[in-house]
A and B are shown apart, each in its own frame.
Chain A
Amino acid sequence: MADDNTKQNAAAPPQADEFGVDQKRMPFTDHLIELRWRVLICVLSVVAFALIFFIGFSGQMFRWMTLPVKLAYERTGGEATYHFRYDEMLLAYKPMDMFLSATYICLLAAVVVTAPLLVYQIWAFVAPGLKRKERMGVTKVVGAGSLLFLMGAAFAYFVALPVMLGFFLKYTAGFGVASRWNISEVIDFETTMILVFGASFELPLVVVALTFLGIVTPEFLAKRRRHAAAIVFIFAIVIAPTPDPVSQTCLAVPLILLYEVGYQVAKRIKRRGTLWDRWWGPVDQKPDESGPGEAAYTAPADVAPHEGTYPTYTEGSAYSAAYGAPEGSQPTSAPPEGEAAQPALPEPTEPPQTGGEAPGGAPAPAPSDQPAQPEQPDQPEQPDQPETPREPQIGAEVEDQRSTHDEGAKPQDSGWDPNSEPMH
């Protein structure tokens, strides 16, 4: 019941879902009351933790926050280089500097520690309003996003900050100027860097989201790798809170690696079918130039060159295929590169091909070659092949778990059915 908000049945008895919320019967004001309680719990827990931290552990917190400074000081030579002890380095030049910094640190720590509780409260409020499929998606996105953010923060704390601060220390000492850093400036600098790195490390999520929406394809990502690296570097220059080359490089290098991570995940997403594929039919790619079927690939005569890369339904082809092309719809969502990247695919089930046809059968823009099917002289056995033997080549290990367009190449499948199956 909770999964299908659209089919509301007034005669159904009140019934709570796993969150204890009977959303069918709940009036609007009850939602507000629930929201108030959840916000109150969040605020109280943050304040309680902040107080405990401030009273009991502020010294420990402060030592943790200044650990990158200490690392930078010791790694760049310590007292032998700078002629002052580390204890003399941090400076409060206003009466309240240290107090405000300690408060800030303890609030930050409280938010970090109570983050699971906060996320749970938000989730418990939002989840009953979501369909099961949406819940799965949100869980994945939030989980991956949290993990990536933590990775970025850890990278900033352990790697980037010591390197950057060491660079500044040494640079300043080179001019004969002593580094007596203001404690609140140092704390600000560190928290900003940690936030920026954590946010920037969400790059794979962005890449995967764009792929899932069908805005980019893995082939595009691979082809534009160098451009992406250049853009990432410019992005690092812009987003880095400091205009020095060290922090920009510290930010750009892991981002370029994360782009590759996003590319790998995007390939996997693409193989399982993206949102675009479910709605508009599959988007077929020309084989990559390093792909296996490159030499043998011949585009069908009626397909314009750009249609191999970008989805077009203006020709009336993809749209009609997704919304009930009557017969002969071939499941063609297996790009040759995807086959190469996944050895688990049952290759032997592929029917023998003749002539200059690529191993993907007719992986050419699938729906759009429907009208031209009889006019292609170089695939003579294509029309008499049954539909079913082509199914297993899409991906055997996911075939049984989904009802996406792949088996939905059945003519009456109209793209994405929200009530079909949870996405994987």
Chain B
Amino acid sequence: MGRDPPENDSRMADDNTKQNEAAPAQADEFGVDQKRMPFTEHLIELGRRVLICVLAVAAFAVTFFILFSKQMFDWMTFPVKLAYLRTGAEATYHFRYEEMFIALKPMDMFLSATYICLLATVIVTAPLLVYEIWSFVAPRLKRKERMAVTKIVAAGSVLFLVGAAFAYFVALPIMLGFFLQPTAGLGVASRWNISEVIDFETTMILVFGLLFELPLVVVTLTFRT
């Protein structure tokens, strides 16, 4: 592709191969002058970004745990409630929905709440995390690569979210109802351990999210320069 000569400073950041020593120090749109940056400064920048991410995650996790853990828990058990109600509720199972979850160990509920809040934190801070990674990586990429990465990340995120939503709203209620009903039909009561339920749901959501990346895989395999 046609490039301007190196003395055109506006394109300097895009062309890492043609390094011109005489060019003045100049920052790109991320504030990083990649031509002049020594290796240790890259490490320092990385450390700063990691620190920001860790602090954000910790702050959100603590806030969620203290203020919204009951809300999170209700959201997480919503598919179970849907399954219970759709397959007949108390008329079928002879126990109320409130009696369904038990904690088998003293710490079960505490650990599950911690896990849920950490997950929610990762989801909420995901844009920040992606931005930090992007700001670190982007100045090292050529413009063409930047475009490609942007497209892939955006499409992948959307696909993952679609898959997770599908698991949460459609697949999980059906699956859990499928497990609930024959169990009751065989005369076995479902008293599910709360940590097992949470584990099952998060695993399913993750699996569905990853499976929904299938179009991306197909596109990657057919991609030709």
Contact = CB atoms under 8 A, between A and B. Distances in A.
Interface of A: 91, 93, 164-165, 168-169, 171-172, 174-182, 185-186, 189, 242-244
Contacts of B101: 176-178
B103 A180 contact: yes
Interface in B80-109: 98-99, 101-109
A172 B109 contact: yes
B167 interface: no
14 contacts: A168-B107, A172-B108, A172-B109, A175-B73, A175-B109, A179-B102, A180-B103, A180-B191, A182-B104, A182-B105, A185-B105, A242-B106, A242-B110, A243-B111
Contact of B98 (A165, A174, A176, A181): A176
B194 interface: yes
Contacts of B111: 243
A78 B101 CA distance: 19
B13 interface: no
B102 A180 contact: yes
A326 B210 CA distance: 83
Q: Which 3 A-B pairs have the closest CB atoms?
A: A172-B109, A180-B102, A168-B106
Contacts, number: 64
Contact of B102 (A164, A177, A242): A177
A177 B105 contact: no
Interface of B: 69-70, 73, 98-99, 101-111, 113-114, 191, 194
B103 A189 contact: no
A194 to B, nearest CB: 14
A177 B103 contact: yes
A178 B101 CA distance: 7
Contacts of A176: 98, 101
Contacts of A172: 103, 108-110
B113 A175 contact: yes
B interface, by DSSP: helix, strand, loop or mixed? helix
A178 B114 contact: no
B116 to A, nearest CB: 10
A179 B110 contact: no
A178 B192 CA distance: 11
Contact of B106 (A93, A174, A181): A181
A239 to B, nearest CB: 16
Nearest to A168: B106
Contact of A174 (B70, B107, B108): B70
A178 B107 contact: no
A169 B102 CA distance: 11
Given A178-B99, A181-B105, A185-B104, 8 more contacts: A168-B110, A169-B106, A172-B110, A175-B113, A176-B98, A176-B101, A179-B109, A181-B106
B25 to A, nearest CB: 45
Nearest to A241: B107
A175 B70 contact: yes
Contacts of A177: 101-103, 109, 194
Contacts of B110: 168, 171-172, 242, 244
Contact of B103 (A93, A164, A179, A244): A179
Contact of A181 (B69, B73, B103): B103
A178 B103 contact: yes
B104 A93 contact: yes
Nearest to B109: A172
A71 to B, nearest CB: 14
B71 to A, nearest CB: 11
A178 B109 CA distance: 10
A186 B107 CA distance: 10
Most chain B C-beta atoms within 10 Å of own C-beta, residue among A168, A174, A176: A176
B109 A171 contact: yes
Contacts of B107: 168, 189, 242, 244
Contacts of A242: 106-107, 110
B61 to A, nearest CB: 13
B17 to A, nearest CB: 50
A135 to B, nearest CB: 44
Nearest to B99: A178
A243 B112 CA distance: 12
B77 to A, nearest CB: 9
Given A176-B98, A177-B194, A243-B114, A189 B70 contact: no
A91 B104 contact: yes
Nearest to A91: B104
A155 B66 CA distance: 29
